[in-house]
Chains A and B, each alone.
Chain A
């Protein structure tokens, strides 16, 4: 070896060591391939070069220099196998691309790809030596290339995992937020923000179908038009998401609004709402996993919306229940705790309050040792308002009773007071009378109440004298009263319409006729027994059907 040759070898060696150091210090595939190409081209004075890599068994062009764009695009897609270098398609491509040298890049057990170099600038052919040197360069590079390919692959996997983690985070975050019983408008907003942020969507809408009502909660599409188009049963029954293709085919009008994806929001297999989305701004299609994600967050949202609704409903129910309890309390306190005893009269009372607390009222007020007042009434309406009006009535009644006023005068006064005190159209049907123990007589006024029955010797006489119901207007026509001299064994039966209008399961009413017949039949019994008969008969008629009205009966028997 002469001196110049030895210098040349030394320089080559130094260059190789430097080259090895540089490419092995990086894991950036582009940087490494670039370096390999430039080194080869510089060494062999080649004007063009390319590197194609084995990606999942297929040879793909990965880096090139000096190769026209058009030629790059023509690179054949080839399987990597034993005969790769002799592949005719590849050979054709080489001659077209004026590529002359080709060498495999091999790892210990695999072909990583190929390097191809174009003709030399000095038009000299590639020599045996050149080929050996090229092999050396590639041997040095192969581990760096292999490592960086793995890193590349990992980073793709990582990115995929990152986006999965990101989606899971979104799901997690939303489920946390949705658990807070937020307003449905807020839930919908968070839902769409999450979706449009995740998928780069510009237009969206969220609808719910709850209790048969279609509600547009959020919409960037024309709301009115949307409601029109979605008001078909098709959407209530929509079980699977509709893709752009399906919408375009079946629902052209929706498609024309720009809707490219419809995802149902389902709860226990029922479609309770829809999410509508426009195209993605980055022009990507919604993938299956995208749609799955949207379906999941949609379901989370609808659960939250539905839960809140049920919660509210339960709350309202509870509130009503509480209110009814108050009404029941008021009503209970108004009814007499003890029935006064008089020697000429046998008295029995029954008052059954319905679930909703009706407005039945009865009272027996002791005036003195000889006289007492009996009253029965039915306040229109139910619940607390009825109970309060009833309380008013009782207060007026108790006051006027003790003033020693004439019954008709007192009734007129009470009517005036009630009229003044009701503004919402409430009224009271009312009957009251004064019973005299010594004279065994009744003086009564009936202000529009169901006619009480007086049963004497199997004949019914209705106590119907009086005037207009209380509370409708101030007294214009005076009330009239009636005096009745009672005889031993006379029965007076006072009741409210809860008895005669008690319903059976066919919604038929118990009726006045039935009550009257029963009253005549059982008139010989004691007050208490008569009351029991009525109660048993009405209950047998209703057979457990829940009654909407209170039932009150007062039986007074002259003895």
Chain B
């Protein structure tokens, strides 16, 4: 069975989720729990780093859909970063770039959050 794991990092107001391995129907609940935990703690500014993600299936993409409304209702967002071409291609195929901001690097994504915070102030 393909392995999948997540880890998280606090970067000030922002939380980064690192994905590793294969995100599919079987492993989707792992990411689901990670998101649920953050939302429970009212952490709504989330960057997901895809650097070490080898594969994502539509069930994996579904996890992003399942939480985005709640997060945006709370003035937060999920920003995506560091995707390999293969992973990006799947996001692109299904039209995600229209709905999600996708960045080359985690730093860019964090920067974008910071800019928005500054504007709000």
Q: Which A residues are within 8 Å of any B CB, using their own CB?
A: 159, 162-163, 166-167, 169-170, 173-174, 176-177, 186, 189-190, 192-202, 281-282, 284
Max count, chain B CB within 10 A of own CB: residue among A159, A186, A193 = A193
B66 touches A193 (CB 8 A): yes
A200 touches B99 (CB 8 A): yes
Q: When chains A and B are docked, how far (Å) is the Cα of A174 from the Cα of B24?
A: 9
B86 to chain A, nearest CB (A): 11
Chain A neighbourhood of B94, CB < 8 A: 163, 166, 197-200
Q: When chains A and B are docked, how far (Å) is the Cα of A298 from the Cα of B90?
A: 22
Chain A neighbourhood of B68, CB < 8 A: 202
A193 touches B93 (CB 8 A): no
Q: When chains A and B are docked, how far (Å) is the Cα of A282 from the Cα of B95?
A: 8
> Beyond A163-B93, A167-B58, A197-B94: 15 further Cβ-contacts under 8 Å?
A163-B94, A169-B58, A170-B57, A170-B58, A173-B24, A173-B26, A176-B25, A177-B26, A192-B66, A194-B58, A196-B62, A196-B66, A197-B64, A202-B65, A282-B98
A288 to chain B, nearest CB (A): 18
B28 close to A (CB within 8 Å): yes
A177 touches B25 (CB 8 A): yes
B59 touches A197 (CB 8 A): yes
A193 touches B28 (CB 8 A): yes
A99 to chain B, nearest CB (A): 35
Q: When chains A and B are docked, how far (Å) is the Cα of A339 from the Cα of B109?
A: 90
Q: When chains A and B are docked, how far (Å) is the Cα of A282 from the Cα of B93?
A: 13
**Chain A to chain B contacts (Cβ below 8 Å), 28 pairs:** A166-B94, A167-B58, A169-B57, A173-B24, A173-B57, A174-B25, A189-B29, A190-B28, A192-B62, A193-B25, A193-B28, A193-B62, A193-B65, A194-B25, A194-B59, A194-B62, A195-B62, A196-B66, A197-B57, A197-B59, A197-B64, A198-B62, A198-B94, A200-B94, A201-B65, A202-B65, A202-B69, A282-B98
The 8 lowest CB-CB distance pairs between A and B, nearest first, are: A193-B62, A197-B61, A197-B62, A197-B58, A196-B65, A198-B58, A177-B25, A194-B59
Contact of A173 among B59, B64, B99 (CB under 8 A): B59
B58 touches A200 (CB 8 A): no
B7 close to A (CB within 8 Å): no
Q: Mark B26-44, 1 if CB is under 8 A from A, else 0.
A: 1011000000000000000
A78 to chain B, nearest CB (A): 32
Q: How many residue pairs bridge A and B at CB < 8 Å?
A: 82
A166 touches B65 (CB 8 A): no
B63 close to A (CB within 8 Å): yes
Chain B neighbourhood of A193, CB < 8 A: 25, 28, 58-63, 65-66
A200 touches B95 (CB 8 A): yes
B95 touches A190 (CB 8 A): no
Closest to A192 in B: B62
Closest to B89 in A: A162
Chain B neighbourhood of A196, CB < 8 A: 62, 65-66
Closest to B91 in A: A197
Which B73-99 residues have a C-beta within 8 angstroms of A? 89-90, 93-96, 98-99
A166-B95 contact given A173-B25, A177-B26, CB 8 Å threshold: no
A336 to chain B, nearest CB (A): 58
Chain A neighbourhood of B99, CB < 8 A: 200, 281-282
Which B8-59 residues have a C-beta within 8 angstroms of A? 24-26, 28-29, 57-59
A197-B69 contact given A163-B93, A189-B29, A190-B28, CB 8 Å threshold: no
Chain A neighbourhood of B93, CB < 8 A: 159, 162-163, 166
Chain B neighbourhood of A200, CB < 8 A: 65, 94-96, 99
B69 touches A166 (CB 8 A): no
Max count, chain A CB within 10 A of own CB: residue among B28, B58, B93 = B58
Closest to A178 in B: B25
Q: When chains A and B are docked, how far (Å) is the Cα of A198 from the Cα of B24?
A: 13
Closest to B64 in A: A197
